[in-house]
Amino acid sequence: MSTIQTTVKTESGAKYVQQLCKHWSHKLETRFEGDTGTVTFPSAVTTMTASAEGIAIAITGEDRGEVERLTDVVARHIDRFAFREAPLTYDWSWRED
């Protein structure tokens, strides 16, 4: 398994996580509880946890290339919802399990 993660600074993290889960729920399996949202893509699972400082994002999957591709998908969607403060800064780092 490969996991790539980042923390994005924003004061509206909970709002964006909820919007993303609702947006993707039309095509993908999503879950939103409290300040945490999970989106299950065909090749990876994205977990987003909001706090007062931002959103902690982790994308985990078997195929490292596909996990890396999803960083752009997730970032573009967050920036779309955060248009007033976009582009946000994403400093992705790998964690091997």
- Cβ neighbors of 22 (< 8 A, separation 6 or more) are 30, 32
Domain range for 47 is 2-96
Q: How many domains does the chain have?
A: 1
CB atoms within 10 A of CB 7: 18
- Cβ neighbors of 65 (< 8 A, separation 6 or more) are none
Q: Which pLDDT value is given to residue 95?
A: 86
Q: Give tens-digit pLDDT for 71-94.
A: 999 999 999 999 999 899 999 999
- pTM of the model as a whole: 0.94
CB 20 within 8 A of CB 48: yes
Q: Give tens-digit pLDDT for 19-43.
A: 999 999 999 999 999 999 999 999 9
CATH of the domain at 40: 3.30.310.50
